[in-house]
Amino acid sequence: MLKQILAKLPKKSSKQNSEDSSYGNISSNNLVDVINGFQFINSCNAITSRLNAVKRMSSSIFPTGTEMLEPHILFKDVPNSDKQNLFVSKLNFCSLVYDFSDPEKQSVEKGLKRQILVELIEFLATDSAKFSEQAIVAMCTMCANNLFREFPPKYTIRRVRGETEADEPLFDVAWSHLQLVYDILLRFLSYNSLDAKVTKKHVDNCFILKLLDLFDSEDPRERDCLKAILHRVYGKFMVHRPFIRVAVGNIIYRFVYETDHHNGIAELLEIFGSVISGFALPLKKEHKMFLTRALIPLHKPKSVGIYHHQLTYCIVQFVEKEPKLAGIVIEGMLKCWPVSNSQKQLMFLSELEELMEMISLDEFERIMVPIFRRIRCCLRSSHFQVSERAHLFWNNDSILGLIMKNRQVIMPLIFPALEQNSQNHWNRAVLNLTQNLKKMFSEMDGELLLECQDKFEEENSKLSLLTERRKLTWERLENDADLHQTESSPCVHGSCATDLFFLNVGTLQWLPASLVLLLLGCYMFKDNLSIVLYHSQELSLVTERRKLTWELLENDADLYQTESSPCVVVC
């Protein structure tokens, strides 16, 4: 009887259940296509339909048994117990990504999403409740859907640019939404009550790698946001720190040795400047390897001017913690020192001066000879700015103290460049600096300066003598070559009346095979043709004279190499 009574009661319509079931099977990737298929009567109906769809999607993705609230509801309109559910609902709605290539397309939905993103920022700024794992997953999903994307081809195309200037920035058309998403992620990671143990499972290595890939964005605003977020991730999750260091090192390796193009090197180095300052002493082996394998090779690319300030800061942080590393860095710089790029030379000189201020005396004495050989080349550079910058090393009290203690080695290296500047340099300012430096050397050690001057004049005399001898040797060689060419010209007389062919077997060994075949052909078809070859004895005499001339030239060259002045250095 009870069953009959219940059967007569009106049953609940299954239409709504079927719709819920159908939406429950929609993936997040296909949701946009389904919603775009709706036939909106007006903008209000469009927004309502989309909110209902997102609500159903949230129920299928996060089956918590609690009712998901509609995302358009304000946080102030719900009790505290429902704010977490509303927070997740709003995150799910913001996971939808819109096309910003057409400003008029889906303008209503874009405006609603922006409004909800602003509400999420305000909620994170005011609320202090602890997030559930469901909310953490929703946050990571929303950020991944909005931020992790492939850059269009215009982002990776290599354009012609200067060696010390950056490309013209290209701004992302979706920045109105991206900026809010970055702000939400930064506030979320900075949340005081965030459970790091739970969050690190979702902000994992894959998430961090995709975050690092975004540093190649052309938009400088995006790179600034990423810089703050990566710094927060590095400080929040200690378990991820080694992985982040390795991943950043790999980005630098690809930039230096493969692509020679990356937009975010300066930002990555800026982050690592603060990371390096936090390294504990003594430095670990992996940290020193990062210096030698990643930071020092960053001096090689032509675009070093874009990130040189940040690079210098990172290297200085290493040297301050362990001064012995200054020698390793300077040796690496000398290996890739620019020759023709004057702007790059100026940057290297500034960095070299900063490192020499921190170097220990023992380390300085180990590498002072190659250092001042390079400074000598810069002193006599024809580019006046490079020469002026090299002269300013003697205005630094720390460097001047090192030079004073090792003047017996340094002054003989530098003095020839000063003399050459005094005699040949075109720039008046450089000439004045050179005279001041010579005066400083005279006050420092007048006797040593006189010895250097006498030695320079003596070497100049030897150099002039050797130059004259080389000139005479080359003239003798040219005369012998002309004589040989005259005496060994082929004696072929096609109009001779007699048919003579003098062929000496000893002569054939000095002739190329093609000429021998030609002579044989002429002999076989000789018609009024006479071929006269010099005897092998005459040809051997000419060859012997050439041999003696070359021996004389080689002896002069060896003598020149032995006695040549050390001040003649090719920069």
The rounded distance, in Å, linking the Cα atoms of 55 and 491 is 105
The rounded distance, in Å, linking the Cα atoms of 281 and 546 is 69
The rounded distance, in Å, linking the Cα atoms of 17 and 21 is 6
In the predicted model, is pLDDT for residue 339 greater than 60?
Answer: yes
Contact (CB, 8 A) for 267 and 242: no
* Structure tokens belonging to residue 288: 């020193």
* Structure tokens belonging to residue 218: 């052309």
Which range is least confidently modeled, 21-25, 162-166, 520-524, 530-534? Answer: 21-25
What is the model's pLDDT at position 569? 38
Residue range 80-116, pLDDT digits in tens:
888 888 899 999 999 998 888 777 788 888 899 999 9
In the predicted model, is pLDDT for residue 371 greater than 90?
Answer: yes
**pLDDT band per the 50, 70, 90 thresholds, residue 174:** confident
* Pairing outcome for strands 491-493 and 501-502: unpaired
Among 454, 455, 530, smallest CA distance to 498 is for 530
In the predicted model, is pLDDT for residue 70 greater than 90?
Answer: no
For residues 487 and 58, which has the higher predicted lDDT (pLDDT)?
A: 487
**pLDDT band per the 50, 70, 90 thresholds, residue 538:** low
For residues 489 and 19, which has the higher predicted lDDT (pLDDT)?
A: 489
Radius of gyration of the chain (CA): 40
In the predicted model, is pLDDT for residue 35 greater than 50?
Answer: no
The residue-averaged pLDDT of 350-358 equals 95
In the predicted model, is pLDDT for residue 388 greater than 50?
Answer: yes
The residue-averaged pLDDT of 315-337 equals 95
In the predicted model, is pLDDT for residue 176 greater than 50?
Answer: yes
For residues 476 and 305, which has the higher predicted lDDT (pLDDT)?
A: 305
The rounded distance, in Å, linking the Cα atoms of 35 and 46 is 9
Sequential DSSP letters for 334-398:
HHT--SS-HHHHHHHHHHHHHHHTT--HHHHHHHHHHHHHHHHHHHT-SSHHHHHHHHGGGG-HH
For residues 166 and 197, which has the higher predicted lDDT (pLDDT)?
A: 197
Q: Report the mean per-residue pLDDT for the chain.
A: 79
In the predicted model, is pLDDT for residue 283 greater than 70?
Answer: yes
Cis check for the bond before 301: say yes or no (omega within 30 of 0): no
pTM above 0.85, yes or no: no
For residues 523 and 356, which has the higher predicted lDDT (pLDDT)?
A: 356
**pLDDT band per the 50, 70, 90 thresholds, residue 409:** very high
What is the model's pLDDT at position 214? 95
The rounded distance, in Å, linking the Cα atoms of 373 and 571 is 9
Percent of the chain, pLDDT > 70?
A: 71
**pLDDT band per the 50, 70, 90 thresholds, residue 479:** confident
* Structure tokens belonging to residue 262: 């990356």
| Most confident of the following: 169-178, 426-435, 454-463, 466-475 | 426-435
The residue-averaged pLDDT of 184-196 equals 90
The residue-averaged pLDDT of 29-44 equals 38
Which range is least confidently modeled, 137-146, 253-262, 495-504? Answer: 495-504
HSE toward the beta carbon, residue 95, CA cutoff 13 A? 27
The residue-averaged pLDDT of 416-421 equals 93
Instruction: Please say whether the dihedral angle defined by the alpha carbons of residues 168, 169, 173 and 176, taken in this order, is positive or negative.
Output: negative
In the predicted model, is pLDDT for residue 303 greater than 60?
Answer: yes
> Which residue bears the tokens 């900063």?
354
Non-local CB neighbours of 116 within 8 Å, separated by 6+ positions: 71, 72, 90, 93, 94
In the predicted model, is pLDDT for residue 320 greater than 70?
Answer: yes
The residue-averaged pLDDT of 547-565 equals 64
In the predicted model, is pLDDT for residue 209 greater than 80?
Answer: yes
The rounded distance, in Å, linking the Cα atoms of 236 and 327 is 35
The residue-averaged pLDDT of 266-280 equals 94
The residue-averaged pLDDT of 529-553 equals 61
